[in-house]
Amino acid sequence: ETEVLVIYCGGTIGMKPTPEGLAPAPHYLTRNLAQRPQFHDPTKRPLTTKPTLYGKRIHYVIKEYKNLLDSSEMDMTDWVRIARDIFNNYEQYDAFVILHGTDTMAYTASALSFMLKNLTKTVILTGSTVPLSMPYKDC
């Protein structure tokens, strides 16, 4: 199995639809993914995918920030936190996925490209303008 750390720092991708609009909700993303067969094989440990076409499974762990960040308010301290989370977990995981808001994703990508220079593992920074839980999403 490939081990992937998903760092959910905020953004629309993991928000919960409410009568008042989209809102961050603690652990909503993890629960939502665990209910979807494309992200979770119920015959395996939690958050392990079904085998790919090449017979590989991906097991992922979601590290959700306690206070989900609005990307329009992110600054250098938040970029350092993301980089530090990758460095602190570097030996445990094969790859990293950062779920991020779209407003300042380009700035975060630029900062991380310098802070994570010379890594030998994959780091993906992604987000969405529509929550994963909604049909017709863009993620």
Dist. CA 6–CA 17, nearest whole Å: 21
Q: How far is CA 110 from CA 22, 57, 79, 122, in A?
A: 28, 30, 10, 16
Beta bridge partners of 4: 60, 95
On whether the CB atoms of residues 12 and 102 are closer than 8 A, the answer is yes
Question: Can you read off the two tokens belonging to residue 56?
Answer: 């590989």
Q: Has 129 been annotated as catalytic?
A: no
CA 21 to chain centre: 22
| Catalytic residue, candidates 12, 49, 104, 108 | 12
Terminal CA-CA length for the chain: 24
The residues that are catalytic are 12
